[in-house]
Structure 1
Amino acid sequence: MNLKIKFIPYEKMKMDSFSDILRDVKENTIILIDAKLKPEEESEIIEKTMESVSEKFSGIELSSIDFAGEEEMNNFERFKNIIIERIIGKKRGMTIIGPAKIIHKIKKNPKELLLYM
């Protein structure tokens, strides 16, 4: 079985459809996105995945991590981060999406994601 890892900048992900990402995942590709997905984006990709679950495709594993470290910030730094996120349109962090048949579990710690394959 071939396993591929594909890095997608958040800006490109917004231009592509979630169907394109799902197609890649069905072809045993692990997708790395350079931002934390918004809850509505995660919901949309999960919804599209549920529509295409079959005997051949068991679904996805999806997890995001936020690199902002807000618990260590004062109010000014939090406000600055909110402004930056609004300007650039993405949340600092990373999202991993992969086929459930390959990624058995994603363990999330405050500053790292561990993939169990």
Structure 2
Amino acid sequence: MNVKFKLLAYEKFKKDGFEALIHDLKESKIVLIDAKLSSEQEAYVIEETMKQIGDKFSGIELASLSLLNEEALGGFEKFKNAILETIIGKKRGFTIIGPAKIVHKIKKNPEELTLLM
């Protein structure tokens, strides 16, 4: 089985919106976004995807991973990171979204994601 991955810049994800993302997922591509989506963005993607489920599309698996250990950061480091995220407009990390017919489950721990296909 061939698996296609698409690397998607967060800025392009924000610009092109959900329709471009769902198009790639329906073409059986696993999408990697170069930022950690907020919980609100994840909820929106899941909610909109649920509306698309049918005979040819069975949904998605989604997980985000932060590149920062927030608990290990001191007060000033957290403040500095918050300013940096505000300036660049994205959270440091990445998000992986795959069609459920290919990605059956994503196991997540603080330092890695494991795709079960």
Aligned to 1:110: 110
Name structure 1 gaps, 5 residues minimum. none
Aligned to 1:98: 98
Question: Superposition pairs for residues 18-97 of structure 1, below 5 Å?
Answer: 18-97=18-97
What is the distance in 1 between the residues matched to 2:73 and 2:38? 21
Contact 1:49 1:59 survives alignment (8 Å):
yes
Aligned to 2:14: 14
**Structure 2 residue matching 1:17: 3-state secondary structure:** helix
4+ runs deviating over 6 angstroms: none
Instruction: Give the length in aligned residue pairs.
Output: 117
Higher mean alpha-carbon deviation, 27-36 vs 38-47, is at: 38-47
Shift of 1:42: 1.1
Letter in 2 for 1:72: A
> What TM-score results when the alignment is normalised by the length of structure 1?
0.95
**Deviations for 1:31-80, whole angstroms, at most 9, x for unmatched residues?**
00010001221121111111110121110000001111111111111110
**Structure 2 residue matching 1:16: 3-state secondary structure:** helix
What is the distance in 2 between the residues matched to 1:41 and 1:101? 22
Shift of 1:25: 0.5
What is the distance in 2 between the residues matched to 1:73 and 1:60? 32
Contact 1:25 1:31 survives alignment (8 Å):
yes
Contact 1:30 1:96 survives alignment (8 Å):
yes
Shift of 1:2: 4.2
> What TM-score results when the alignment is normalised by the length of structure 2?
0.95
